[in-house]
Amino acid sequence: MVDIPKEIKTWQMVTPYGKNGKTGEILTGKIEKTTIPVPDLKEGEVLVEIAGCGVCHTDLGFFYDSVPTVNKPPLTLGHEISGKVVSGDSKWVGKEVIIPAAMPCWNCALCKTGRGNRCLAQKMPGNSMGIYGGFSSHIPVPSTDLCEVKERGKTPLSCLAVIADAAVTPYQAAKRANLQPGDNVIVIGCTGGVGQYQLQEVKALGAKTVIGIDINSERLQKSLNYGADFIINSMGKSPKEVTGEFKDICRSTGLVSYGWKIFEVSGSKPGQEIGLSLLGFTGKLIIVGFNTAKVEYSISRLMAFDAEIIGTWGSFPGYYPIVMDMALSGRINIDNFVETRPMSSIVETFDEIHHTGSPEKRIVLIPDF
């Protein structure tokens, strides 16, 4: 039984925050409830009734920090989406799905040479899929890359929204790092929205020793239950001091200090500087988080160390079923890292995260139009 709507109800970003170029006056952004037509579905497209949509820092960047969306406002934000197919391609209708945060074109040279995660024509809900985004009752999307949800037990469909982006990005990062059972791993920013999955997934994939680094003692303590064998609180410490603590852990446990795979997920300049300081012989530093700051580094050290710095962008849609299985089989925990709220709290929720920073749990908004 499916329910085909006459129109899509949505929380549309009418205008993002901005600044008057002449006066410097802050121009307040506006997100408001509205309705948009249900479009005619093209061949291969489906209409998904949204169960939940996660709030990501990327959304806040679009709204507050002048990061431009590919499609100009007004448009609806939101790209961590789960839901149920209600219309379109008949073999999908009635199925529960996770919508990939980015869908490659599968038609360009990058896609055709196995780099589709970095397809330059990729489509992202809430950014480059016309006016459509996840903070809505429904969304039209291509069916090609949908991840079918099966046997989800007691896990609410809404919670599985976090698989998109938050939980698959770390999996792609682990693949880029060629993570192997027995590897020693450091996760910088291990208690953040993406970092907590990075921590859990490297452990689930067989990492031997995992060190979590972050700046919140309470959350760091909890991370010992979710993948971390050791923790370092880097608050107020120099990269050299953090590296000293790392070496102390190596000494006390008899672990070698070379060959570590270091995931920098904090996306902060101090986090990146810690990562560079920790990088040693045959090590890999994987850049998962983003910021616009420059860092100073002698890249010749990479030569002397036979070491690497690897950037990782997005995720292949094909990894979604794998990460979903990890979650549904309990190899990684998502239930304890998700908080659901009614979608009508979107303005307050955005405002709260914008002011208080990374929440301990990913907030998933559930349509309550």
Residues forming the site for its own copies (CB under 8 A):
109-110, 113, 115, 117-118, 120, 256, 258-259, 267, 272, 276, 281-282, 287-314
Instruction: Please identify, using beta-carbon distances, which residue of 211 and 288 lies nearer to its own copies.
Output: 288
Cβ at position 276, least distance to its own copies in Å: 8
What does the radius of gyration of the chain's CA atoms come to, in whole angstroms?
A: 21
Kindly report the number of other CB atoms within 10 A of residue 60's CB atom: 16
Cβ at position 203, least distance to its own copies in Å: 21
Cβ at position 275, least distance to its own copies in Å: 8
222: tokens are: 């909890």
Cβ at position 300, least distance to its own copies in Å: 5
Instruction: Please identify, using beta-carbon distances, which residue of 88 and 193 lies nearer to its own copies.
Output: 193
In Å, what is the CA distance from 296 to each residue of 146, 310, 369?
41, 17, 49
Instruction: Please identify, using beta-carbon distances, which residue of 40 and 296 lies nearer to its own copies.
Output: 296
Cβ at position 177, least distance to its own copies in Å: 11
Do residues 62 and 352 make contact, with C-beta atoms less than 8 angstroms apart? no
Q: What span, in angstroms and rounded, lies between the C-alpha atoms of 146 and 142? A: 8
Cβ at position 12, least distance to its own copies in Å: 27
**ω into 321 cis (within 30 of 0):** no
| E strand segments, 58-208 | 80-88, 96-99, 138-142, 147-148, 184-188
Instruction: Please identify, using beta-carbon distances, which residue of 21 and 254 lies nearer to its own copies.
Output: 254
Instruction: Please identify, using beta-carbon distances, which residue of 191 and 272 lies nearer to its own copies.
Output: 272
In Å, what is the CA distance from 32 to each residue of 13, 38, 131, 143, 188?
7, 18, 14, 28, 36
- Which one-letter amino acid corresponds to residue 124? M
Q: What span, in angstroms and rounded, lies between the C-alpha atoms of 60 and 267? A: 15
Instruction: Please identify, using beta-carbon distances, which residue of 26 and 256 lies nearer to its own copies.
Output: 256
